[in-house]
Amino acid sequence: MIMNNILALCNLHTAPEIEQFKNARSFPVIPFLGRYVFLDFTLSNFSNSDIDKMGILVRHNPQNINMHLGGNQVWNKNTKTGFLYMLYDERGILNEKYNTDISNLKLNSWVLKRAKIDYVIVASCHYLIRFDYRNIIAFHKERGNDVTMLYKESELGKELPHIDILNADDNGRVKNIYHNDLRKKKVKVDIESYVFSFPFLMNILKHEGQGISFKDAIKLALKQKDVKVECYPFDGSVQAIFDFKDYYHTSLALLSYKQRRKLFSSNWTIYTRTHDTPPSRLGEMSEVKNSFISNGSYIDGHVDSSILARNVTIEKDAKVEKSLIFSEAIIESGAIVRNAVVEHGVRIKANSVLEGSFEHPLYIDKSN
């Protein structure tokens, strides 16, 4: 049943900047597993949770997002009354104080009026999860919360420098939010998915132009006794992407079926923009092991533990191992690529050797 009184927003303002990709694309549309981008997972969670009113809060590079969305109907199950809007605040180009999620939604508050909603979900795209938002919505309603924050219990608190921590009492009421100081082993990780009651959301939109985020506004609200903020546990797998190494390691880890089934399920489709490309082809001398091969690719060499996007060519006697190859790239005959990420359209010359390591993967763009 479609949840008509809910608006779900994918918040790109919180997405990290990955240094290697910043000149080519923004984080939400970085290729992932050959055919997806990170944005797909958050939007698919909304769609699979029977939410048909969706928006994307875009921080920068809206053209990248727009190109991926295309007709944007693939994520929308209800094309008559549902919608998916790309929301952008151009004031942020000139004044960074307006380049926040709060200012973005305030400028585009018309979407709130059109949606006629009681609750708003705001979720990040750099925490990859498979999550049914109907569960947290039911909890939020039952508890009468102003805000409900999704968290993941972790025993790796001393190893996760990028995360924020929720400090909550035994009843789940959030007392404060702080950046991880690496002191505690067992922590409640804020995975940046929140449910807001509509009156509370409208109140925090008053922070427009002050340079603060939804999370900052929640921190301020925690100082008020009449605001109820609780947390809700997520017991599934979380793949967190903060930097280039995270991206590389997470991609290769998902070649394992055991790891992959924690994120993917036959009854939980990950929707993405599709392309009209022919099937992949394997030459007579090709050898492919433990790899994802996307449509349109041609392989006449050796590919092992790697991920190939669309229309990649691996020529005769070329070897690709533990690498991510983006679309339209060509690995010429006799070339060797190991522990690397090869950008869109790059041509690796014949018999060349380009090799990084698992801990320090090599990034190859057209300038190399």
Q: How far apart are CA 349 and CA 332, in angstroms?
A: 5
Confidence (pLDDT) at 197: 98
Q: Element (H or E) spanning 61, and its range?
A: none
Q: How far apart are CA 308 and CA 303, in angstroms?
A: 9
Confidence (pLDDT) at 3: 76
- Top CATH class of 6-260 equals alpha beta
CA dihedral 258, 270, 22, 96 (to 10 degrees): -120
Confidence (pLDDT) at 363: 97
CATH number belonging to domain 281-364 = 2.160.10.10
Amino acid occupying residue 266: S
pTM over 0.85: yes
Measured CA to CA in angstroms, residue 126 lies from 60, 195, 310 at distances of 16, 18, 23
Q: Element (H or E) spanning 130, and its range?
A: none
Q: Quick check: 221 and 145 in contact, CB under 8 A?
A: no
Confidence (pLDDT) at 275: 78
Confidence (pLDDT) at 100: 97
Q: Residues of 252-271 as b/e, b for ≥16 C-beta within 10 angstroms?
A: bebbeeeeeebbeeeeeebb
Which has the closest alpha carbon to 231: 192, 186, 178, 198? Answer: 192
Confidence (pLDDT) at 134: 96
> Per-10-residue mean pLDDT for the chain, 368 residues long?
86 96 90 96 97 95 90 78 92 92 97 92 98 97 98 96 96 97 97 98 96 97 94 97 97 96 94 88 95 97 98 97 98 98 97 97 88
Domain ranges of the chain: 6-260, 281-364
Confidence (pLDDT) at 2: 66
Give SS3 for 363. Answer: strand
Concatenating the DSSP letter of every residue in 273-336 gives -----PPPEE-TT-EEES-EE-TT-EESSEEES-EE-TT-EE-TT-EEES-EE-TT-EE-TT-E
Q: How many residues does the chain have?
A: 368
Q: What angle do CA 243, 310, 297 make, to 5 degrees?
A: 125
* DSSP label of 163: -
